[in-house]
Each structure stands twice: as C-alpha cells, then as structure tokens.
Amino acid sequence: MTAVDASRPVDFLSCGPEQALHIGDVRGTAAAASGTMHTGPWARGSDGGPCPGVLGVLADVVWGGAAVAGRPAGMWAVTTELSLSFGAPVATDGTRLLATGAVAHLSGDSSFATGTVRTEDGEITASGAVHTRFVAGDASAHVLPAGMHTDADAPGFAEWLGLEFAPDGLSATIPTGEAVSNPGGHLHGGVIFCISELAAAHAVSGLNPDLRSSSLHTVFLRRAELGGRVRCETDIVYRGRTTATATVCCLRPDGKPCAFSTATFGPVAPSNG
C-alpha cells in the first residue's frame, strides 16, 4: 500500500504546447491539482471550429501533474493512457477553463488520476483519467523560454502543429520539432492525443458533418523521439446516423506505433454552447 505524499507540489514544466494553448497557473499536489487555459482562436481545429482535442494537453498537464506528483522519490513518470469524455463544447471566446485533478490510485510503480475541466460557469467540458508509470530518472531541462512558441497569428492549434491531411482524409501528419516537445524531450502526450482527435474528427466529418467528438481514449505504446513526421492513420469502425466510432493509430517515423486511440462521435448538442 502506498500513501500519497500530499506535500510535494505539482511540477509545471511549460513547453511549447502549453504556451501555444495559454495553459498556466498549474499548482497543487497529488491530492488536488489545478490549472487554467485561456481560450481563444488557438483552441480551434482544422475546420475552424472548437477543437476538444486541445483539452488533452490541459488534462495531461494538470491531471498528469497530480499523478506525477505522487511518484516515489528519485523517480519520474510517463503517461501511459489518457481518456476524456467531452461535455460542453470548448469555447474560443477568451474565457478561462479550469482543470482540476487528483490521484485516485497509487501503487509503487504506477498511478492514475481523475479530473474535470470546467468553464467559468462551472459547466463540465471534459472529465476523464490519466494513467502514469513511474520510471527511473528525472525530467530533463527541456523547459523553454516563456513565449518562445506562442504564435499569436496562428489561427488554430491544427495550423500551429502544421497538421496536414492526405487526400483520402484518413491519414494526417505533423512535423515533430522542439515546439511539440514534452519536458522529457519527446513528443508531448497531449499533442498525440490532440492530433488523434483531429485526425479522427476530420475523417468522420467527411462522412457526416453533423457529428462531433464525444470521447477519446489514447493509450501510449512507445515514446516518440523528436524529428521527422508522425502519422495518424484513422479507421472508421462504425458509422451510424447519430454516432460514429473510429480508431487512430499514431505511427513514428520508423513506422512503429506510438499510440492507439479510440474516438467516439455524437450529434452536435444544440443547447450547450
């Protein structure tokens, strides 16, 4: 049995994705962590609409921060799974989102934390869980200067990422430079989550534009080194009138899968804007 060390603060190592999405004020402990994201055009997806996938970056930072804070001394942690169920649409109007998370289970080699993301009005935009595994070592010094990767002119996160779709709509790629690094110097898990959501949403919207993402579950299989392009391959496994389901396999430049996601889609909610 492992007790949560509620005295260790959450580490906030702000990298490019956090800066691009205006994520900050991350604080707390494994027992209660919080952080904010200011919404704006950077929260838009490839179609110009709100992109729920960006919440994966916020959740990875805040919920994952709680999970990491519970690690044993001398260890670091890697995210192994991230799962979000989406509620109210993500605003892009400058309002603030508040993420809160707490460790729900902790053992000697792993933990998971659960959390929510709420609007200023208290409405739930997402709820879910993050799993981490403890590994030897510590975060390397990949913290980037504030503002280094914030591009006020980027019309949306998809464009900031440099996301490109294949003509068939089922494949998407991004370059993996320093801008999308996590504190360990690998491709940020929140970015993998987000591009998986964007890839699946693009594929599904080509078949039914009235559907939006209702949930995404990503399991991280291998770390992805920076350099080259990662590719998301989408497989639409079910398409109905009011729902759709897709799986997304995210492949490293060497062709090995680094993440596998399951995405679900439901009708656009008419009254929760």
Partner 1 sequence: MTALSPRAAVPFYVCGPERFLHIEAFQGTAQGASGTMRTGPWVCDGTGTPSPGTLGILADSLWNSAAITCRPGATWGVATELSLSFGARLPADGSLLTAHAAVTFHDERCAVAVGSITTADGRALVNGTTRTRFVPGIAEPDPVPLPADDPGAAGIVEWLGLAFSPDGRTAQMDATVSFANPARNVHGGVLFCASELTASRAVAANTNGLTVSSMTILYLRGVPIGERLAYAVEVVHRGRTSAAASVRCHRADGRTAALATVNFGPAAGEGRP
Side-chain-side CA neighbours of 121 within 13 Å: the count stands at 9
SS3 204: helix
Q: Quote the CA–CA distance of 232 and 241 in Å, as a whole number.
A: 25
Closer residue to partner 1 (CB): 16 or 128: 128
Q: How far apart are CA 130 and CA 5, in angstroms?
A: 18
Closer to partner 1 by Cβ: residue 96 or 133: 133
Output the smallest distance, CB 162 to partner 1, in A.
Answer: 27
| Comparison of 63 and 157: residue with beta carbon closer to partner 1 | 63
- CB count in 10 Å sphere of residue 219: 15
Q: Contact residues for partner 1 (CB under 8 A)?
A: 1-4, 80-81, 83, 85, 87-88, 104-110, 112, 114, 116, 123-124, 127-129, 131, 133, 214-215, 217, 219, 221, 237-238, 240, 242-243, 245, 247, 257, 260, 262, 264, 266-267, 269-272
Nearer to partner 1, 208 or 247 (CB): 247
Q: Give the separation between CA 147 and CA 159, rounded to whole angstroms.
A: 17
Of the pair 18, 60, the CB lying nearest partner 1 is at 60
Phi and psi at residue 43, to the nearest 5°: -95, 15
Rounded to an integer, what distance in angstroms lies between the CA atom of residue 10 and that of residue 32? Answer: 9
- Nearer to partner 1 by Cβ, of 96 and 105: the residue is 105
Cβ proximity of 75 and 134 under 8 Å? yes
Tokens matching residue 130? 């993050």
Decide whether 48 or 238 has the Cβ nearer to partner 1.
Answer: 238
- Give first-to-last CA distance, the chain, whole Å: 44
How many other β-carbons are positioned within 10 Å of the β-carbon of residue 262?
Answer: 17
Q: Compute the residue count for the chain.
A: 273
Supply 255's token pair.
């062709």
**SS3 state at 70:** coil
Instruction: Give me the residue label for tokens 């990422």.
Output: 161
